[in-house]
Copies of this chain bind each other. A is one copy, B any other.
């Protein structure tokens, strides 16, 4: 199981670390891609090593995509390569898990038309504008798309993500 995590500075720390550790617990390999090398720093100060630049990502190398929240997605959705990667995972029908502001990337990628999903409450209008059906629930599973709202939803988010990965 190979999980690609795309994030950037000001990620919501637990929304990256908790699912990453969960996938690793299950024996999964995780890689963090970002725009640039080195490390990224979360809103609360956790530092995470960047394994590769998004320009180096081949979606075929991974089984699933994880998009944590925080302020990172608002920057990442401006990056055409990030959007292409998101489209590749969605088109291939691979598990895609996005939490909090992470779904902003999927909205910008134009891949959520008629999909049931959730996100941080303030993101609702962006999602519906992109054609999604917003649900205010701790986790929404639509096919292989898993979405949640906030850090407190992480137990449900991980539970549903792991069902799709195993």
A residues near B, CB below 8 A? 13-14, 17-18, 21-22, 24-25, 44-46, 151, 154-156, 158-159, 162
Output the nearest chain B residue to A43 by Cβ-Cβ distance: B45
Closest beta carbon of chain B to A135's beta carbon, Å: 20
Q: Which of B17, B44, B159, B162 contacts A18 (CB 8 A)?
A: B17
User: By CB atoms of chain B within 10 A, which of A21, A24, A151, A156 has the most?
Assistant: A21
Tell me the complex Cα distance, A44–B159, Å. 26
A155 near B14 with CB under 8 A, answer no
- Are A46 and B158 closer than 8 Å at their CB atoms? no
Q: A22-B22, A24-B155, A25-B156 are in contact. List 11 more A-B contacts (CB 8 A).
A: A13-B13, A13-B44, A14-B21, A17-B18, A17-B151, A18-B18, A21-B154, A21-B158, A25-B154, A25-B159, A44-B44
